[in-house]
Amino acid sequence: MELRTLRYFVAVAEELHFSRAAARLGISQPPLSQQIKALEEELGGRLLVRTNRRVALTAAGELFLDEAREVLARAERASRLVSRLGRGESGQLRIGFTTSVPLTPLLPRTLTHYRQRYPDVDLRMHELNSQRQIAPLLEGDLDIGIMRPATLPPELSAFTLIREPLVAVVNAQSELGASDTPLSLAELATQPFVYFSPAAGTGLLDQFNVLFAQRGLTPRLVQEVGGPNTIISLVASGLGVSLLPESFRHIHIDNVRYRPISDADARSEVWLTHPRHHLTPQAQHFIQIVREAIAG
């Protein structure tokens, strides 16, 4: 017994007429008669009484009609549900992101598009620093990570979403805060620094260290903190200077001034990171949309 058989039987039971049912099914009448006959043989009893040019259901046929409809409905429902899920039109999408990412227009814009295109996907956003996104990505607890550059295990793959210059964060009342002109890293390194602690897990710290090390500079850290907002606050209070991606310019705080960096390699990136293989369809769609947003 196959679903086709059930579809055929339901058609005949509804039309009570083999030829009409066959036309409805888009097949010719003889195979339909044969299929019904085979079904009756398999079940071991008549489902239809073919009498004097009239077709009627037996008691068994009545019962089977109900049951067959039920089975077909369930099968169709299963197909629909799984199809939607498999096509990434439902289900969920779990995205990790760092603090700085919502400051750029790219992510909000992408999320808006994605929501419009896939309104039935349950979108779960998790604010996590770069390091803390890696384990969930590996374990399948996160589908996509949006993070600063980091050393990734080979199971993860990434591409650059945003490339932005670094800017100096200085106190407006301080010596360096007197101007808006570009500043070199060497100049900046003369000042006491407020920066992330290694425990903060951000990829920016690595970049920071590399940049200064390449120039033989060792800035004096006066305070290690956990988050960029704290950095900016402490700069505002005059504790020292800092170096952050340009998107933090969106954070306006009294007494804080952002100055461009003249060094050409003082740039930072935002990565989209994902498991190298076996992306969920939802994640594939998200990546598709984010790529469109970058291109457009």
Partner DNA sequence: GTCTTTGATATCCTTTAGATATCATTCAGG
Partner DNA sequence: CCTGAATGATATCTAAAGGATATCAAAGAC
Stretch that binds DNA, among 50-58, 107-115, 238-246, 281-289 (CB under 7 A): 50-58
Q: Which residue lies nearer to DNA by CB, 60 or 125?
A: 60
| Interface with DNA (CB under 7 A), residue from 6, 13, 14, 36 | 36
Q: Is 79 in the site for DNA (CB under 7 A)?
A: no
Q: Smaller CB distance to its own copies: residue 74 or 250?
A: 74
Sign of CA dihedral 214, 191, 233, 224: positive
Cβ 9 to DNA, closest distance in Å?
Answer: 12
Instruction: Name which of its own copies, DNA, none residue 67 binds, using a CB cut-off of 5 to 8 Å depending on partner kind.
Output: its own copies
- Sole binder of DNA in the list 9, 11, 13, 18 (CB under 7 A): 18
How far apart are the C-alpha atoms of 269 and 128, rounded to whole Å? 17
Q: Does 38 bind its own copies (CB under 8 A)?
A: no
Q: What would the two tokens of residue 167 be? A: 């800017």
Cα separation, 124 vs 53, whole angstroms: 62
Query: According to the binding rule CB under 8 A, does residue 16 interact with its own copies?
Result: no
Q: Which stretch, 19-27, 60-68, 166-174, 222-230, contacts its own copies (CB under 8 A)?
A: 60-68
Asked if residue 261 lies in contact with residue 183, where contact means CB atoms within 8 angstroms, the answer is: yes
194 burial via Cβ count (<10 Å: 0-12, 13-18, 19+): buried
**Mapping DSSP to helix (H, G, I), strand (E, B) and coil, where does residue 155 land?**
coil
Spatial separation of the C-alpha atoms in residues 181 and 70, rounded to whole Å:
75
Two tokens at 99? 């603090």
* Contacting positions for DNA (CB under 7 A): 2, 4, 17-19, 26-31, 33-38, 50-55
